[in-house]
Structure 1
Amino acid sequence: MSEKPVRHILGLSGGKDSTALAVLLHKKIPQMEYFFCDTHKELPETYEYLERIKARLGIKIHYLSAKRGFDHWLEIHDGLLPSPQMRWCTVMMKIKPLEEFVGNDEAISYIGIRADENREGYISTKPNIKPVFPFKERRLVKADIFRILEQSGIGLPDYYRWRSRSGCFFCFFQRKYEWVMLAQEHPDLFAEAVKYEQGHKDGRTYTWVQGETLLELLERKDEIIAQHEKSMAREVKSLGKQSLAEVLENILDEEDNELPCLACHL
């Protein structure tokens, strides 16, 4: 009996880096298996972008879901919202479905960490899943990613008008400007995120943003937008050759450069 062939897998997050990696590799590795870990708490723009990727590249995407939804795991964690210190959502709703998808098969996982990023983290520690970093091997940086996406015809997801990272609509890694814009772009989703803050049965309050509730943050909407626009104007003036999407990402990273979960934000 012949040995089972090594699987080649690439996780799409609905973000620019993993998409550019798919563009780079889809012809070089025709047996690649593409997957998206669906929390069912994603932005509608994310699903639209995945459809665009499938159509442009002619690939199939496996949509993986946890056996239990976010509300179940929130109850298991006694209402404690996920945070940078307690990333249970990533473990239960992203990593576990991936590991079940691979099982005990030997697999090479292609990860879109760029050469200009100072992080080596991996989303699974299973020994049968070997991570490789094609962008680092090719010394590709952020500007290369934007170029690859533009030349492919896929471009950027629509949320890039106001947000620079993929992930759930209530992701705790959002910057304050992104929360304000979520309220403007998707008021229903913002209202749902507010309910999660207010919904603890014994009256305790957990917040998505450290130090203030979303409603308190929204009261400062004009101040946050004005500061953002001021920063954008300054960045555009100093780095005039960059696209507005690149400028937006630079500004938001300047506001909060904490590294997000690799499973959600590549």
Structure 2
Amino acid sequence: MSKKVRKVLGLSGGKDSTALAVLLHKEIPDLEYFFCDTHKELQETYDYLDRIKARLGIKINYLSENRGFDHLLDLHGGMLPSPQMRWCTSMMKIKPFEDFVGDDDAISYIGIRADENRDGYISTKPNIKPVFPFKERGLVKADIIRILEESGIGMPDYYRWRSRSGCFFCFFQRKYEWVMLAEEHPDLFKQAIAYEENHSDGRTYTWTQGETLRELLTRKEEIVAKHKKAMQRETKSAPNRPLSEALESVLEEEDMGLPCLACHL
């Protein structure tokens, strides 16, 4: 008797992995869904996951790294995660996922689109095989948005001001997204500042390169004005484009590199 191969799909709280769940939930009845919960997510992310469960009638396994972000931060000497040192992804996203699969043979369905030029994978374990249904079927961003609209799930609420899922203090946030975090969730912005400043040995770490969050916030009007001009330019060039797509295009101009796939699909 052949050994059963598990089929798993990681949800990030973003549009692509959600659309993949919509696409596959009837095709693959035994598909296992999981979300790696850092406990540093936006409330909008949890609300969106609840919407997915309700609409699709699926169970989502919430996976966590037992020791938590603050303990891991201490283990790393207070050094904040960064694009160069993504210990949060490896410890709080990839490790819980690999523990969840264990030594079982598994197919991991990943929501990278056909119009994306990346093939990144979040695990290198030989028993986990990556499969890319969007690429196989030639599905692009417009298809993903259509799938979400037709499902009734729609887009996450945070897409009004942020184009990616992930922790509220994600270092891949653009300047405008940090400014909007301060406006939408001032309590979380204060927590992000505290992580920068609370180092008893006097070391300085910042979430964004070149300036602290306090310094960034003093430039709020400048950052918002620049963003509005870019949005006007974008909507003028494509007046029928949804605002969420225009926002994503504008924010991509300020991109700091490819985000972690485990967090942002």
TM-score (norm 2): 0.99
Q: Which moved further from structure 2: 102-111 or 254-263?
A: 254-263
CA drift at 1:258: 1.4
**In structure 2, what is the Cα distance between the partners aligned to 1:132 and 1:176?**
34
**In structure 2, what is the Cα distance between the partners aligned to 1:57 and 1:87?**
32
Q: Which moved further from structure 2: 15-24 or 250-259?
A: 250-259
**In structure 1, what is the Cα distance between the partners aligned to 2:5 and 2:92?**
25
CA drift at 1:134: 0.4
Residue of structure 2 equivalent to 1:170:
169
Unaligned runs of 5+ in 2: none
Residue of structure 2 equivalent to 1:123:
122
Which SS does the other structure have where 1:24 is aligned? helix
Which SS does the other structure have where 2:171 is aligned? coil
Residue of structure 2 equivalent to 1:184:
183
Aligned sequence identity (%): 78
**In structure 2, what is the Cα distance between the partners aligned to 1:94 and 1:148?**
26
Which SS does the other structure have where 1:255 is aligned? coil
Return the letter of the residue paired with 2:155.
Answer: L
**In structure 2, what is the Cα distance between the partners aligned to 1:242 and 1:254?**
17
Residue of structure 2 equivalent to 1:228:
227
Residue of structure 2 equivalent to 1:248:
247
**In structure 2, what is the Cα distance between the partners aligned to 1:257 and 1:192?**
22
Residue of structure 2 equivalent to 1:96:
95
Residue of structure 2 equivalent to 1:15:
14
CA drift at 1:3: 3.8
1:239 and 2:238 are equivalent in the alignment: yes
**In structure 1, what is the Cα distance between the partners aligned to 2:85 and 2:256?**
18
**In structure 2, what is the Cα distance between the partners aligned to 1:210 and 1:159?**
24
Return the letter of the residue paired with 1:247.
Answer: A
Unaligned runs of 5+ in 1: none
CA offsets per residue over residues 23-56 of structure 1, 9 Å max, x none?
A: 0000000100000000000000000000000000
Contact 2:174-2:256 at 8 Å conserved across structures: no
**In structure 1, what is the Cα distance between the partners aligned to 2:227 and 2:13?**
24
Which SS does the other structure have where 1:264 is aligned? helix
- After the TM superposition, which residues 1-266 of structure 1 pair with which residues of structure 2 at under 5 Å, given as runs? 2-256=1-255, 258-266=257-265
Which SS does the other structure have where 2:113 is aligned? coil
Moved over 2 A (4+): none
Contact 2:7-2:30 at 8 Å conserved across structures: yes
**In structure 2, what is the Cα distance between the partners aligned to 1:219 and 1:257?**
21
**In structure 2, what is the Cα distance between the partners aligned to 1:230 and 1:73?**
40
CA drift at 1:241: 2.0
TM-score (norm 1): 0.98
CA drift at 1:201: 1.7
CA offsets per residue over residues 130-162 of structure 1, 9 Å max, x none?
A: 001000011111111111111110000100000
Return the letter of the residue paired with 1:161.
Answer: R
**In structure 2, what is the Cα distance between the partners aligned to 1:242 and 1:138?**
24
**In structure 1, what is the Cα distance between the partners aligned to 2:15 and 2:244?**
11
Return the letter of the residue paired with 2:32.
Answer: E
CA drift at 1:75: 0.6
Return the letter of the residue paired with 2:79.
Answer: L
CA offsets per residue over residues 52-76 of structure 1, 9 Å max, x none?
A: 0000000000000002100111111
CA drift at 1:240: 1.5
Return the letter of the residue paired with 1:228.
Answer: H
CA drift at 1:257: 5.5
Which SS does the other structure have where 1:137 is aligned? helix
Return the letter of the residue paired with 2:204.
Answer: T
- The alignment of Structure 1 onto Structure 2 pairs a total of residues equal to 265
Contact 2:172-2:256 at 8 Å conserved across structures: no
